[in-house]
Structure 1
Amino acid sequence: MAGTTIQSIELYKLFVPLKEPFVISLGPINTVQNVVVIIRTQDGCAGYGECSPYMTINGESVDTCFIVGQYFAQVLKGKNALNIADCMQAMDKTIYANCSIKSAFDIALHDIAAQHSGLPLYQFLGGKKDKVLQTDMTVSIGDPAKMQQDAVKFREQGFEFIKVKLGGTKEMDVQRIAAIREGIGNDVPLRIDANQGWPTTEAAIEVLNALAPFNIEHCEEPIPRWRFMELRQVSDQSPIPIMADESCGDEHDAERLIQLNACQMFNIKLGKASGFYRAQKIAKLGAQAGMEMQVGGFMESRLGMTAAAHFALSNDHIHHVDFDTPLMFTEDPIIGGIQYLDKGVIEVPEVPGLGAVVDDSYLQKAEKFIYA
């Protein structure tokens, strides 16, 4: 199809300060540093994608993404945008890994394909609106009193699910959860995320058992991801279900974890999986294994989170969503996209494609690269 031939590719650096630092066990983030990709075809269609590189998780930065994206622009120009498998193969042959920037290209390609099909992206992916997407709100790791204050604030704002960042000593992490429970009571479900913060299997098991009385729904990535062979031991001895996050990047990781019976749940992120193309493979494997899954993200704006929300509607086994980071921004650079309703409920756009674009006023002042 000549009209769907890729004519030009644009890259933009998108910087947005946060209302306050977002802190996990791997370190703090003060300013969002993302990359926006716009792919234009000969028939005038434009597909938008975004990635949020996380140096301590996927080993990419806004600068590496910006440079590697220029390599991708050179190999993708002239290709059929609707042949997503071919485009993904071209990027994989260009450079290994770099899943964050690959995800931005993948999202833009799927946006184009869904627009050409005349369907909202979730329908293009085979999904339907038969469930409510309701995001949690995340409490950064820190002083127990501050974490309690944040949890109380989120509860008062109406959020019905609260996620808590942990990953310190047993004594401190128990103090943190105890303080939060003292502030919000026992009825609100808590989800915890250690971000690999407990250094050994024994330490993780000890902390998880100490947290058992606090009504915890699940725990993400309790131990360093390279200890994946030990994750089954943690899962077997933990009273709290274990969700693989950093150790589950692509479909090969997912298959390995399933074979090992390493965990009960997956957290799928487009920025880890290189986009929809591989994320769908992870979800299919998880569903076949009877797993509950979550869709999360890094520090994407409503553009990237809109993509994640479309994906969350594509598989019946995706039960949880973690789409709160745009609520932490000091500015909203996105037109269209998901809307946040009461109690953290997410409304997904019904227009063909992704349904979200970046306001031109932000792109005009951004550092950019255009390959035409």
Structure 2
Amino acid sequence: MRLDIYLRDVKYRESFIISTGRRGIDKEFMIKVSENGIEGWGEAPLPHRADEEYLSTLLDKIQRNIEGIRALEPYSLEKLHFLCRDIGDTRISMALQLAFIDLFGKKIGLPAYRIFGAYRDKVETDITISLLPPEEQAERASRFVEMGFRTLKVKLGLDPIMDVERVRRVREAVGEEIRIRVDVNQGWSYSDALYALNKITDYEVELVEQPLDKSDLKNMAKLRREFDVPFALDESVWNTQDVKRAIEMDAMDVANIKLVKCGGYTEAMRIIDLCEAYNINCMIGCMGCDKIGISAATHLALSRRNIQFYDLDCDLLHMDDGVIMGGALVEIPYRHATNSAGFGVSKVQEESLIYLKTFR
């Protein structure tokens, strides 16, 4: 088994702004696993602080564990899970797991969602509206609805008074039939949340995501008792331990799963099963992924019943530079898989990637 490691910069069509900052480029850490002429591809978005030292650390971690990685069969996900847990980096884990799953699917000739459950054949994604002035969010909302999207995820979190105005303007722009979710990205204090939620719930908000600091589960539980709207946690829940804590504190209705947070399919499926046991629904999100990561998240969403909310739009917000071909299909507002094996990625223009290292 051979591993080739690459880096890729992916530009946004428009600056992406949330309460914690702005970005115009996502960096993708990419792994190609090759065996007997068959290639599997994985990727994971990197933090924006990622520099040469950070990348060197990632490569060192792979180097120290390369014999264990190369000894695995592509279907040995449980062994890979514990090996990656020992490595201690969710981005390496995500990229490796996706590459292994893609390789295994191609070896046996099946798309990934058929390997892991094949519960449904399509999902309806939302589309995210950056944290902009109210009139700009309303304009962007109208544009997305004209494109065919029926669920909008509106970013909030800088000022509760303006956040209420943002939701009001978006609702007026799109009418009553469009679903509106709001994502605060930890931007409110508890008192901010009380003020804003008392107002925005008048505008038929479907879901409120991460209104408070990730550590403030006690006040999250209080908000759930106070307001008749589902609350989702994102930054608070990275793994099964986090999810268990949130369930014990009665702090959420929905857990937002992102493959880069939990490290790939194996931990994601543990989270899904845990949530289902406690009647907690799951959302699948993306956190800067491009086509490979989004395709993997789409296949997981197609596989498992308890994933009920779909935020699979990062690659739609990115510019399409033609480097990655294939993957999950988009027929706005739906995403679905093809019958192609693995995650359906047909070709990667490797000459357009930034080469880092090869492990043979």
Q: Does TM, scored on the shorter chain, surpass 0.5? A: yes
Distance 2:258 2:342 in 1: 19
The change in CA–CA distance for 1:16 and 1:66 in structure 2 (over 3 A counts) is farther
Q: Is the 8 A contact 1:53 1:62 kept in 2?
A: no
In the alignment, does 2:230 pair up with 1:237?
Answer: no
Q: Alpha-carbon deviation of 1:134?
A: 1.0
Q: Output one character per residue of 1:91-133: Cα deviation in whole Å (capped at 9) or x when no partner.
A: 3223x3x212321111112222333343210121123335x31
User: After the TM superposition, which residues 316-335 of structure 1 pair with which residues of structure 2 at under 5 Å, given as runs?
Assistant: 316-330=305-319, 331-335=321-325
Q: Is the 8 A contact 2:33 2:40 kept in 1?
A: yes
Q: Alpha-carbon deviation of 1:49?
A: 0.6
Distance 2:168 2:156 in 1: 12
- Give the secondary structure class of the aligned counterpart of 1:254: helix
**Gaps spanning 5+ residues in structure 2: where?**
none
Q: Is the 8 A contact 2:119 2:305 kept in 1?
A: no
Q: Is the 8 A contact 1:194 1:221 kept in 2?
A: yes
Distance 1:146 1:32 in 2: 23
Whichever residue aligns with residue 15 of structure 1, its letter is D
The change in CA–CA distance for 1:62 and 1:52 in structure 2 (over 3 A counts) is farther
User: After the TM superposition, which residues 1-372 of structure 1 pair with which residues of structure 2 at under 5 Å, given as runs?
Assistant: 7-41=1-35, 43-55=36-48, 61=50, 63=52, 64=54, 67-75=57-65, 76-94=69-87, 96=88, 98-130=89-121, 132-198=122-188, 200-330=189-319, 331-341=321-331, 343-357=332-346, 359-360=348-349, 362-372=350-360
- Give the secondary structure class of the aligned counterpart of 2:236: coil
Q: CA RMSD in A?
A: 1.9
Q: Output one character per residue of 1:217-276: Cα deviation in whole Å (capped at 9) or x when no partner.
A: 101111110112332112211232100111111111111111221111111111111000
Distance 1:172 1:299 in 2: 26
Distance 2:51 2:77 in 1: 24
Distance 2:317 2:143 in 1: 13
TM-score (norm 2): 0.93
Whichever residue aligns with residue 38 of structure 1, its letter is K
- Give the secondary structure class of the aligned counterpart of 2:303: coil
The change in CA–CA distance for 1:312 and 1:172 in structure 2 (over 3 A counts) is same
Q: Is the 8 A contact 1:37 1:108 kept in 2?
A: yes
The change in CA–CA distance for 1:91 and 1:167 in structure 2 (over 3 A counts) is same
**Gaps spanning 5+ residues in structure 1: where?**
1-6
Q: Is the 8 A contact 2:328 2:343 kept in 1?
A: no
Q: Alpha-carbon deviation of 1:364?
A: 4.4
Paired residues in the alignment total: 355
Q: Is the 8 A contact 2:84 2:92 kept in 1?
A: no
Q: Is the 8 A contact 1:35 1:50 kept in 2?
A: yes
Give % identity: 25
- Give the secondary structure class of the aligned counterpart of 2:354: coil
TM-score (norm 1): 0.90
Distance 2:250 2:104 in 1: 36
Distance 2:115 2:63 in 1: 25
Q: Output one character per residue of 1:22-46: Cα deviation in whole Å (capped at 9) or x when no partner.
A: 11111111012111111123x3332
- Give the secondary structure class of the aligned counterpart of 1:9: strand
- Give the secondary structure class of the aligned counterpart of 1:93: helix
Q: Alpha-carbon deviation of 1:78?
A: 3.1
Whichever residue aligns with residue 358 of structure 2, its letter is I
Distance 1:179 1:144 in 2: 6
Distance 2:95 2:289 in 1: 11
Mean CA deviation greater in 137-146 or 252-261: 252-261
